[in-house]
Amino acid sequence: MDSSTAHSPVFLVFPPEIIAPEYESTELSTMTFSTQSPLQKLFATKMKIIGTIQILFGIMTFSFGVIFLFTLLKPYPRFPFIFLSGYPFWGSVLFINSGAFLIALKRKTTETLIILTRIMNFLSALGAIAGIILLTFGFMLDQNYICGYSHQNSHCNAVTVLFMGILIALMTFSIIELFISLPFSIVGCHSEDCDCEQCC
């Protein structure tokens, strides 16, 4: 190498010995994405939708709890068992909070928020399991709740069908919530997986 080449401006800016590897970042992002499990990819891309579903289930569960408030009428001397357990209210709080955390994680990803979201979804999964158990007892205890107290009521069969339909709806919400919350609380996502730019 002669002195004229060594003092050349082009040599100072772009030395011939250094070659910028332009493909490294692409390979790194490809390797990072390929290491994700299919379940992590699903949560990363559908996080806002899943969170919205959880919030809707929470609102509907709470609404059914409000309906049970109006069942303490003659000749029915007590509230239904599922209402006495309080599940429509504390269960709805868990579902709404877990969905809200997922939506917040979609908008702004931090390690602390990821941990809180996984904890909240784990509690929501436990709540769903408890709700399924309580609803099972509710089916057994309250299957004759309406007509058992009022055989003379001509509408008791129709009301019983409506009442059991509400219990079935609550059971469905609980099972779906369990299948949403439990996998996320176990698998979760990493900060690079939940990044808004990659999820949108």
Give, as one character, the DSSP assignment of residue 70: G
Q: pLDDT tier at 27 (50, 70, 90 boundaries)?
A: very low
Residue 77 is predicted with a pLDDT of 63
Crossing angle between the packed helical segments 156-187 and 38-45, to the nearest 10 degrees: 110
Query: Given a cut of 70, is residue 172 above it in pLDDT?
Result: yes
pLDDT at 159 over 90: no
Mean pLDDT score of the chain? 74
Q: Which helix (H) or strand (E) holds 30?
A: helix 24-34
Q: Do the beta carbons of residue 144 and residue 159 sit within 8 Å?
A: no
- The answer, yes or no, to whether residue 164 has pLDDT greater than 60, is yes
pLDDT tens digit sequence for 30-65: 444 445 556 556 556 678 888 899 999 999 999 998
The predicted structure's pLDDT at residue 131: 94
CA atoms within 13 A on the CB side of 152: 3
Sign of the CA dihedral with 104 first, then 107, 113, and 117 last: positive
Task: Kindly report which listed range (34-38, 79-83, 170-174) carries the lowest average pLDDT score.
Answer: 34-38
Comparison of pLDDT for 96 and 71, the residue scoring more: 96
Q: How many CB atoms lie within 10 A of CB 30?
A: 11
Contact 113, 77 (CB under 8 A): no
H-helix segments, 108-200:
111-142, 156-187, 196-199
| Angle (deg, nearest 10), helices 38-45 and 47-68 | 70
- Using pLDDT thresholds of 50, 70 and 90, give the confidence band for residue 29: very low
Percent of the chain with pLDDT over 90: 28
Task: Please state the pTM of the whole predicted model.
Answer: 0.68
- What's the rounded Cα separation, in Å, for the pair 58 and 64? 10
Tell me how far apart the alpha carbons of residues 104 and 161 are, in angstroms, rounded to a whole number: 39
